Amino acid sequence: MKRFLLSATFLSAALTIMAQNVTSPDGKMMLSFSIEKGRPTYVLTMDGKAIVAPSHLGYQLKKENSDKSTDFDWKPSRATDKDADSKADFFSGFSLLSFENNSLDETWSPVWGEENSIRNHYKELLVKLKQSKNNRFMNIRFRLFNDGLGFRYEFPDQTNLTYFVVAEELTEFAMTGDHTAWWVAGDYDTQEFNYQTTKLTGIRSQMKSAISENSSTTPAGPTTVQTALQMRTGDGVYLNIHEAACVDYPTMHLTYQESNNTFVSHLTPDARGDKGYLQTPTNSPWRTVIVGRKATDILASRITLNLNEPSKIEDTSWIRPVKYVGVWWDMITGRGKWAYTDAVSSVKLGETNYSKLPSNGKHSANTANVKRYIDFAAKNGFDAVLVEGWNEGWEDWFGHQKDYVFDFVTPYPDFDVKELNRYAKDKGVKIIMHHETSSSVRNYERHLDKAYQFMVDNGYDAVKSGYVGDIVPRGEHHYGQWMNNHYLYAVKKAADYKIMVNAHEATRPTGLCRTYPNLIGNESARGTEYEAFGGNQVNHTTILPFTRCIGGPMDYTPGIFVMDISKMNPSNNSRVRSTLARQLALYVTLYSPLQMAADVIEHYEARPDAFQFIKDVALDWDKSLYLAAEPGEYVLTARKAKGKDEWYVGCTAGDHGYKTDLSLDFLKPGKIYQATIYSDAKGTAWNKNPESYVIEKLSVTNKSVLKGLVAGVGGGFAISIK
């Protein structure tokens, strides 16, 4: 690891109005900090042109002796020292005590990832501020990379600020024009929306439509959106606003203020409406602005990971990428069932003798069916089988969702834990545990040690956790500080038992998988399951790499081969809005070290030639190249398998399809490879013969150009190069 660290400290009270600047390592971006009438202010420029216009920083604290957040009504656009409560004001009256300039250039290796090494190269400005009227102190640390900015608030140990409650964080991101934006509605409990594409000034008018598709929402406001927020300026610069290392803090949304074309941070509240409980010394998460001259620059950025701490797990030998199959799609489509019986029993845990209840005959997680999936996984080189609906209580939860809690250790009578452990072990396959918490979080925490030990005792080393429904205790939100602390607690506890975690319905990732690499997957967005609930937008998978995937890998569960759901369940008329070839491409374009072949066994057995790509495609990479991209239109990615001279290429296209000539100049010179191209058949689109595909094999070198590759509407292509 190479490290270059320079440090200089300057002390001068006279600098309170003078701008302090730091440039990116390549000199093309500049961060300028100043104090305007007592308010901390920053500007971000690229090539001398503003990317983020002058924007204020600070906090509104909760008033002392106040039990309700409604005791204040503060709007950042019109606040002044005069109308703000003195003790609650932590945004004005600041002066500069000192500043420091530092720089770092290091290279680190992730446990798993999109490349085998990541460069962390930035220049840093740390400003130390004093609020004289309250004799309080706050620091702001800026790190400027060649591809963007990260900054956070730091609250040092001090006499006049120890315990404090955040009423709102007041970070601003002032925009320089009416940019095009790709966004989902601000919500405290779900990210499972289709994306909207509007100008910034169109957010308000489109918001009602944006939230109408999901009834289980807690909207954050008429102009509030979630991060990561992807934008494109009128002159073709790409911006992405997100956060990194969200620890002991609520998840950030962004409220768009139409009057001054500015986004202001909007933190997820708790049950009382408060936005965070902090104790000095502490710091906020990093706020990030990724900047690119091309859309592919956003995809290539590693700012989010670089702003997280190195792995806190010393021995990571047990953490590995996982390719898996499972009974999930059978149940999602409604052909099979989670529950063993249709009879709703007692809602009191442990009172039901399930062996005396009639089986519905459709329970997917039964011993014989799971053995069938284990056999399939072993035959095709898969690592694991995910089993959901194995444990008692699903009919109770469906019948009394807000009242039922699981114990995570008691199987249904048709699920033989010991026999399946033996059978899977003999076949060289792992079983992935499923913990649906029913959002009864305290119940889950009470059972966590017992549940994880049960996993260890029975050969499970990975768990998919779920948080469906309203959080219990009621009134808390999925993305508040309390729940964010819980998600991390579960991951840390899992590491004690050498268990990997794939969290669904949890908060959106902020790069914590670097610090805790046993967090190998998250859902945190609208995934493949919605294709069985009416369908995702055709361009959905061309937007996710720019938004959801900025914070970490997504367990999207691709690989669907039969697009008409009614062929599995005649009562379900949903259609998967994709071609089969695009389903293959998603294994490359949507990065994750955890990848599921999500369809049922018989659909793969009917198309072994197409299934070969899923069997072959790598999970871990030495290098990733983002060859072409435009949010909402197409993404074309090439990746080199870790430790192998093999490449995989994927292209996913939206409503207009995509056609390209692909140069293979990234291959090693002087070597001959075989390229296997899986592409949409001529005239294929998501709504026209979507399962039609062609496979072509060619000998290629680094001088080859694959001419006229076509992804249909909602289509794609995938290529393996060996």
- How confident is the prediction for the chain on average, in pLDDT? 93
Element (H, E) at 419: helix 417-427
Best CA proximity match to 677, nearest among 722, 619, 622: 722
Distance of CA 589 to the CA centre of its chain: 14
Helices 417-427 and 367-380 pack at an angle, to 10 degrees, of: 10
Residue 529 bears catalytic tag = yes
Cα→Cα distances 620→114, 117, 500, 611, 647, Å: 7, 12, 16, 19, 11
The pLDDT score that the predictor gives to residue 353 is 83
Residue 576 has a pLDDT of 98
Our measurement of the distance from residue 293's CA atom to the centroid of its chain's CA atoms, rounded to an integer in Å, reads: 23
Query: What is residue 345's predicted lDDT score, i.e. its pLDDT?
Result: 63
Q: Are 81 and 68 in contact (CB under 8 A)?
A: no
* Residue 234 CA: distances (Å) to CA of 52, 68, 399: 14, 43, 52
Per-residue CA distances from 21 to 27, 166, 440 (Å)? 12, 29, 48
pLDDT, tens digit, for every residue of 291-326?
Answer: 999 999 999 999 999 999 999 999 999 999 999 999
Predicted confidence at residue 209, as pLDDT, reads: 87
CB 39 within 8 A of CB 92: yes
pTM, two decimals, is 0.94
Residue 77: its pLDDT value, please?
Answer: 37
Instruction: Write the DSSP string, 565-617.
Output: GGGT-TT---B-SS-HHHHHHHHHHS--SEEE--S-HHHHHT-HHHHHHHHH-
Contact 188, 479 (CB under 8 A): yes
**CB–CB of 593/576 below 8 Å?**
no
Sites in the chain below the pLDDT cut of 50: 1-16, 66-83, 347
**What tokens were used for 381?**
């080189």
Q: What is the pLDDT of residue 350?
A: 58
Q: What is the pLDDT of residues 441-493, one digit of tens each?
A: 999 999 999 999 999 999 999 999 999 989 988 789 999 999 999 999 999 99
Q: Which helix (H) or strand (E) holds 634?
A: strand 634-641
Question: Per the residue annotation, which of 169, 529, 633, 691 is the catalytic one?
Answer: 529
Q: What does the pLDDT look like over 101-128, one tens digit per residue?
A: 999 999 999 999 999 999 999 999 999 9
Evaluate the CA torsion angle 104, 109, 113, 114 in order and state its sign: positive
Q: Which has the closest alpha carbon to 539: 662, 716, 679, 295? A: 716
Domains identified in the chain and CATH numbers: 6-177+233-306 (2.70.98.10), 334-619 (3.20.20.70)
